[in-house]
Amino acid sequence: MTRVSIVTISFNQAEFVERTILSVLAQDYPNIEYIVVDPGSTDGSREIIERYRPRISKIILRPDQGAADGLNGGFAEATGEVFGFLNSDDMLLPGAVSSAVAFLEKHKEIDVVSGHSNIVGPDDRFLRRVYSDRMLVKAYIYGELFLMQASTFFRREIFDRVGGLNVKNRISWDGELFLNMALAGGRFAVTDQFWSAYRIHAQSITGTKSNKERLRRSHEEIFFTVMGRPPGKTDTAISFGYRMLRKILNPRDTWERIFRGPLFGRSLNS
C-alpha cells in the first residue's frame, strides 16, 4: 500500500494547530506518515503537539531558516512515496488522502494532483470556495495561476528531482515548488474534489492587502529568474490576457469571487 508522508510546519499557531493535527489523524487512509516540524514556538503550540506525540510519526523540534527550510527538513526524514504538506492553520477534509492516492494509482503518468479548497475563517466559518487551476507555466509566471497547496499531493520522485523547496522564498515557496516541478517536466492534473480547508485570519499570508503586495513582488522575482528580465509594459497586457483566460478556464472560481468576495482584504475577526 502506498505510503503518504504529510508534513506540517508549525510556528506560534496555538489557536489552530490542534485542528490541523486532528484533521490528519482523522483521515481514513491507513498508511499515513505524519511529520510535524516546529522551529521554536513560544505560544503553547509545542505543548499541543506533544499531546499528540503517540499518534504523530515524527516530531522535529529544531531551529530553521523559515517555512521552506523546515518543510525540507521534514521531507528529508519522510519515507513515503507520495508527499503533501499542510500549514498549521489549515485542515484536510475527510477522505482527502484516500481520494488523492486513488487518483495517483489510477493515473500513473501524473506527478502532481490538486483538488480544491473551502476557505474558512478563524472560527471555521465557511467563507467561499477556491478552485485550483490547471498548470500553465506562463500563467503562473504572470501571476495568474493558483494551485491550492493544502489540496495538492505529489510523488516523491518529482520533489527530489527539483531539490525541494527554495529556502530563500519566504512567502510563496509552495507556488515556486510547483512551478519548478512543471519546468522539470512534471505532469499535473486537477481533480474535481475538495480536499482541504484553507484558513484565512489576521496573521495569514493571504489575509491582508499588504501580504498581497509581498506576493506580487515574489512573483516578479520568479518572473526574472525564469524569463531572465524584469517585467515590462508589454507584460502587463500579457498578464491581463492570462487573467481573462483564467476566468474562462475556471469559471466557478470567478463566480465565487463575484458573489462571495475576494480572498484579500477581508474582515477576519472571529
Domain that holds residue 170: 4-260
pLDDT greater than 80 at residue 159: yes
Q: Is the per-residue pLDDT at 63 higher than 60? A: yes
Question: Is there a domain that residue 54 lies in?
Answer: yes
Residue 84 lies in a domain: yes
Is residue 269 in some structural domain?
Answer: no
What confidence category does residue 213 fall into, taking pLDDT thresholds of 50, 70 and 90?
Answer: confident
C-alpha cell at 50: 506533544
Q: What is the pLDDT of residue 270?
A: 39
In a domain, 265, yes or no: no
State how far the Cα of 247 lies from the Cα of 17, in Å rounded to an integer.
34
Question: How many structural domains is the chain composed of?
Answer: 1
> Among residues 139, 147, 146, 136, which one has the least CA distance to residue 239?
139
Is 270 within the bounds of a domain? no
245-268 pLDDT, tens per residue? 999 999 999 888 888 877 655 544
Q: Is residue 268 one of the residues assigned to a domain?
A: no
CB within 8 A of 199, min separation 6: which ones?
Answer: 16, 89, 90, 91, 119, 120, 121, 122
Question: Could you count the other beta carbons within 10 Å of the beta carbon of residue 109?
Answer: 7
Residue 266 belongs to a domain: no
Residue 267 lies in a domain: no
CATH of the domain at 176: 3.90.550.10
DSSP alpha helix (H) spans, the chain = 17-25, 45-51, 67-76, 96-106, 137-141, 156-162, 173-183, 209-227, 233-249, 251-260
- The predicted-structure confidence for 176-202, as pLDDT tens digits, reads as follows 999 999 999 999 999 999 999 999 877
